[in-house]
Structure 1
């Protein structure tokens, strides 16, 4: 498994857990997730030190997570803080509220961004 951790980012654990969950999915579960989601999410996460880490969640073809910009191009880029990503994954904040309050910005297919919640919840259930 590739190293997905980035020093200084609390969400590194979340991203690593997401990849672990994807690896635990059966082929059918993964195919269902890909069919339901059909998108590539690029997360641009900034921490308190104003550093940015980029991770890509590909739920279009393979169901994987990797560090760096999306290859091919992301369907949606989500720009948020480390704390906001953690709050979203823990269910303390919903994506719509985060967007409306300016804690989350998107570029690209905004409707696809709403599916990230389901991807995170599904992975959490698998762990």
Structure 2
């Protein structure tokens, strides 16, 4: 799990937390989340030092989180700063507002990006149970 961490990125903790949450899901919970989301998200996150880290959340086939580009191709790629991802995940920033103000850029199926809030909420609920 620690192989998801990238030095210099606050969102490493968030991504690791998502992975732990998905790992704690029963097969039925994981399948329900996959059915509800049905997409592969690729995060291209830039930190203050202008370094880029890439993580993928596969909620189409496997219900897993991994470091690196999506394989197969991501349904939606989210390009954002480390701070923006942290704010989105914590609920301090609305995804639509982030997009409209240019803090969040997307490639691919933008409508799928709207499901991200539900993914973060499901992971938060799972972490609360741990």
Q: TM-score under structure 2 normalisation? A: 0.96
Distance in 2 (CA, whole Å) between partners of 1:64 and 1:104 is 23
Aligned pairs (5 A) from 1:11-26: 11-26=11-26
CA contact (8 A) 1:2 1:66 kept: no
Aligned pairs (5 A) from 1:32-43: 32-43=32-43
Aligned pairs (5 A) from 1:1-127: 1=1, 3-127=3-127
Alignment gaps of 5+ in structure 1: none
Deviation at 1:2, TM superposition (A): 5.6
Deviation at 1:81, TM superposition (A): 0.3
**Runs ≥4 residues deviating over 2 A:** none
Measured on the aligned residues, the alpha-carbon RMSD in Å equals 0.7
Paired residue total? 127
User: Greater helix percent: which structure?
Assistant: 2
Alignment gaps of 5+ in structure 2: none
Q: TM-score under structure 1 normalisation? A: 0.98
